[in-house]
Amino acid sequence: MKKPYLLFDFDGTIANSIDLLYQIMNQLAPDYGIEHISEEDFMVIRNMSAASVIRLAGIPLYKIPFIIGRVLKVYKKRVHELEPYPGIFAMLRSLRENRIGMALLSSNSRNNVVQFLDRHKLHYFDWIEGTSGVLDKQDRIRRQIRKHKLDPASLIYIGDESRDVEAAKACGIKVISVTWGFHPQRLLERYNPDFLADRPEQILEILEDMG
Question: pLDDT digits over 100-154, tens only?
Answer: 999 999 887 888 899 999 999 999 999 999 875 555 789 999 999 999 999 999 9
Residue 67 has pLDDT above 60, yes or no: yes
* Predicted model pTM: 0.88
pLDDT of residue 132: 58
Q: Which residues contact 14 (CB under 8 A, 6 or more apart)?
A: 8, 84, 85, 88, 104, 122
Q: Which of 38-42, 89-93, 111-115 has maximum average pLDDT?
A: 89-93
Q: At what angle do helices 18-28 and 64-78 cross, to 10 degrees?
A: 120
Cα gap 59→105, rounded to integer Å: 28
Domain boundaries, the chain: 5-16+84-210, 18-81
| Strand blocks (E) in 61-200 | 101-106, 127-130, 155-159, 174-178, 195-197
* Pairing outcome for strands 127-130 and 174-178: unpaired
- Terminal-to-terminal C-alpha distance of the chain: 7
Would you say domain 5-16+84-210 falls under CATH 3.90.950.10? Answer: no
**CB atoms inside a 10 Å sphere around CB 142:** 17
pLDDT of residue 134: 55
Residue 198 has pLDDT above 90, yes or no: yes
Residue 171 has pLDDT above 90, yes or no: yes
Query: Where is pLDDT greater, at 195 or 49?
Result: 195
Residue 211 has pLDDT above 80, yes or no: no
User: Contact, 76 vs 112, CB < 8 A?
Assistant: yes
**CB atoms inside a 10 Å sphere around CB 53:** 14
Cα gap 99→209, rounded to integer Å: 16
